[in-house]
Amino acid sequence: MSLSFNVTPSQRRSKLINSIDAQGFVRIIEAHNGLSALVGQTASFERDGHSITYDGFWESSLTDSASKGLPDAEIVGNPSRLHTIDEILSVTSKPMIVDGDTGGSDVQFEYFVRDLERLGVSAVIIEDKIFPKRNSLDASANQTLEDPDAFARKIVRGREARVTDVFMVIARLESLIAGLGIEDAVMRAKKYIDSGVDGIMIHSKQDSPDEVIEFANLYDELCKPFGRRPILVCVPTTYNLITDAELAKYGFNVIIHANHLLRAAHKAMLDTSEVILSNDRGFEAEPWCVALPKVFAQVGFDQVKSKDREASKTQRLSVVIPAAGKDPIFNEGPKSLIEINSKPILRHQIETIRKVGINQIVVVRGYQGEQFDRFSDESGLVFCDNPQYLDTHSIHSLFCADQYLGNGFVLAFSDVLFSDDILRWLIDTENDIVLAVDNSYRYHRHEIDKNLDLVVTREGRTGHHRSLYPVKKKVEITRMGKNVSMEKADYEFTGLAYFSEEGARIVHQVYRDCLENVHESFHEADSFAKATISDFVQEIINRGFSVHGLEVYKGWMEVHNQMDIEVASKELRSDLVGS
């Protein structure tokens, strides 16, 4: 998962203010490391048909310190904080507000703002206490407030260090925490707004929300002389009966749930460690723990495994190109070696196959087979021979490469140019036998002067909808052959087909059986020896196996005559097909 949440620093930075503008308020969850951030990134709850999620993260000084086993007293320095912040940002895409404590000295604050903005953080909140501060929620801790004018100057210095207007410097009023009352908070708020601050956070450690509501009720009025209303922030840790929606109604724009993920994890850790000791084993602790697959899924291990599987599937596959036949039109040599833009078709095919990462290519030679010698140094390319090329057809040629089919393979006609996308989509399919089929032949059928391999499907041909994305629809093939009427046909076979390991096992079994038992005509062929891929696919379907079609539209071309060569060479020059 963690790799999927990708965003640039500038995209992320502006998300906070955009969400506030769009929704009126944002709901922020604390994060103290990559895992807690992933929880905050993905958590959601369905209510009345709407999915409720967190809008961003609070990188809390309390939980950052506690997760390092340290007290919240400005002991964890900026380099360490920045490291944790970057850890969270690197696995998520939601915006972040950083708890900047007192900000340190003016100069320290300037550098901190510079670093946070560069990383893509949206806002920093600094509190108007004297460095080194003590956590605000501990009733017995000493709370000494900063001179408000000195703090206002720090705000100015921080804002001047920004590069963009999007990054926000927010002032946190600690008057209520220090017991100085609402008048002190209002006096300080005015000074900070006058200094240009982008937001005001009013903090309280009371169980009741009354005093922050009182401040919120005064807020619009106190902002009026300045002609702007900086966003209003609260942290309802102690007054936690009031809902986010209610706080938003009182005018709060940012509501921070400041330490819950760390406290939840801490409680589970305490209980779990005790349960293991008391039972002398781990079994009883399981209810306190998530199952490991959940951890794997959350941190993206599932994707790593599926990519590994994909990569090894590609490496194990072969592409088999039956190129043994003698073409009635181009009969000066194997059709594979016809040059398009000074490169044989086979060379174009090899380049496309390599782009997809398939190493093994098997060419079945026959007619003028020695002409392929020029490829003999090509690494990963092997040759098989079909000496009976005059009396046999493509299925016989394919099985001349029998030893290379077992791990799964792609069959590619020797006269077809195709894009790497089509090849990639084919091998990405989860079905065992999949043919790339094109739905555009009806539009150009008046130009067609040859028998196509036509395909009828269970679903019927789909219409074209304009779309930015290439079509990757799958259909089930029920009938295939050159004698299928053009009216009934839904698609044309492109000459590219994928067979998984299981698909290879099926074709092998059907082939062996037909070889032994078919002695007369075979579908549209006079004999099994002359069977084409269409005949064979029809046989597979008749035996009850599923054969799928992957609908493609453009991205391939069969070289059938001189005109095709001209069209292909033009398209290849403009980079439309293949290389």
At closest approach, how far in Å is the CB of 311 from Mg ion? Answer: 45
Residue 71 CB neighbour total at 10 angstroms? 13
Q: Is 201 in the site for ligand SPV (CB under 6 A)?
A: no
Look at residue 213 and give the partner it binds from Mg ion, ligand SPV, none, a contact being a CB closer than 5 to 8 Å depending on partner kind. Answer: none
Question: Which range binds Mg ion by CB under 5 A, 60-68, 152-160, 347-355, 454-462?
Answer: 60-68
Q: Is 61 in the site for Mg ion (CB under 5 A)?
A: yes
At closest approach, how far in Å is the CB of 112 from ligand SPV? Answer: 15
Residue with smaller CB distance to Mg ion, 62 or 364: 62
Question: Which residues ranging from 80 to 119 are in contact with ligand SPV (CB under 6 A)?
Answer: 99
In the structure encoding, which two tokens stand for residue 143, read together? 């709370």
**How would you classify residue 278: left for phi > 0, otherwise alpha for psi between -120 and 50, otherwise beta?**
alpha
Q: Is 184 in the site for Mg ion (CB under 5 A)?
A: no
**How would you classify residue 28: left for phi > 0, otherwise alpha for psi between -120 and 50, otherwise beta?**
beta
Q: Is 19 in the site for ligand SPV (CB under 6 A)?
A: no
At closest approach, how far in Å is the CB of 577 from ligand SPV? Answer: 58
Q: Is 59 in the site for Mg ion (CB under 5 A)?
A: no
Q: Which of 489, 482, 487, 481 is nearest to 461 (CA)?
A: 489
At closest approach, how far in Å is the CB of 19 from ligand SPV? Answer: 21
Q: Is 62 in the site for ligand SPV (CB under 6 A)?
A: yes
Question: Three-state secondary structure along 415-484?
Answer: CEEECHHHHHHHHHCCCCEEEEEECCHHHHHHHCCCCCCEEEECCCCCCCCCCCCCCCCEEEEEEEECCC
Residue with smaller CB distance to ligand SPV, 72 or 490: 72
Size of the site for ligand SPV (CB under 6 A): 12
Residue with smaller CB distance to ligand SPV, 135 or 397: 135
Residue with smaller CB distance to Mg ion, 97 or 319: 97
At closest approach, how far in Å is the CB of 205 from ligand SPV? Answer: 7
At closest approach, how far in Å is the CB of 257 from Mg ion? Answer: 14
Q: Is 398 in the site for ligand SPV (CB under 6 A)?
A: no
At closest approach, how far in Å is the CB of 116 from Mg ion? Answer: 15
Question: Which range binds ligand SPV by CB under 6 A, 58-66, 90-98, 486-494, 511-519?
Answer: 58-66
Q: Is 41 in the site for ligand SPV (CB under 6 A)?
A: no
Per-residue contact string for residues 10-49; x = within reach of Mg ion by CB under 5 A: ----------------------------------------
Q: Which of 377, 380, 398, 379 is nearest to 389 (CA)?
A: 398
Q: What is the C-alpha separation between 44 and 277, in angstroms, rounded?
A: 34
DSSP 8-state class, residue 574: T
At closest approach, how far in Å is the CB of 108 from ligand SPV? Answer: 18
Contacts 24+ apart (CB under 8 A), 568-574: 568/340, 568/417, 569/340, 569/341, 572/340, 572/341, 572/348, 572/417, 573/341
Q: What is the C-alpha separation between 435 and 551, in angstroms, rounded?
A: 9
Residue with smaller CB distance to Mg ion, 55 or 101: 101
Residue in the block written with tokens 């930015």: 468
Within 8 A by CB and 6+ apart from 131, the residues are: 74, 101, 102, 104, 105
Interface pick for ligand SPV out of 145, 186, 258, 537 (rule CB under 6 A): 258
Residue with smaller CB distance to ligand SPV, 73 or 514: 73
Residues belonging to the active site:
72
Cα 565 to the chain's mean position, in Å? 39
Cα 182 to the chain's mean position, in Å? 49
Interface pick for ligand SPV out of 102, 237, 298, 349 (rule CB under 6 A): 237
Q: Residue number with the shortest CB distance to Mg ion?
A: 61
Identify the three-state secondary structure at position 556.
Answer: strand
- Residue type, position 103, single letter: G
- Residue type, position 298, single letter: Q
Give me the count of residues in the chain: 579
Interface pick for ligand SPV out of 2, 33, 36, 61 (rule CB under 6 A): 61
Look at residue 235 and give the partner it binds from Mg ion, ligand SPV, none, a contact being a CB closer than 5 to 8 Å depending on partner kind. Answer: ligand SPV
Q: What is the C-alpha separation between 139 and 129, in angstroms, rounded?
A: 15
Q: What is the C-alpha separation between 33 and 64, in angstroms, rounded?
A: 8
Q: Is 137 in the site for ligand SPV (CB under 6 A)?
A: yes
Question: Which residues ranging from 117 to 136 are in contact with ligand SPV (CB under 6 A)?
Answer: 135-136
At closest approach, how far in Å is the CB of 125 from ligand SPV? Answer: 8
Question: Which residues ranging from 93 to 122 are in contact with Mg ion (CB under 5 A)?
Answer: 99
| Element (DSSP H or E) covering residue 512 | helix 501-517
Residues that bind ligand SPV (CB under 6 A): 60-62, 72, 99, 135-137, 235, 237, 258-259
For Mg ion, the binding residues (CB under 5 A) are: 61-62, 99
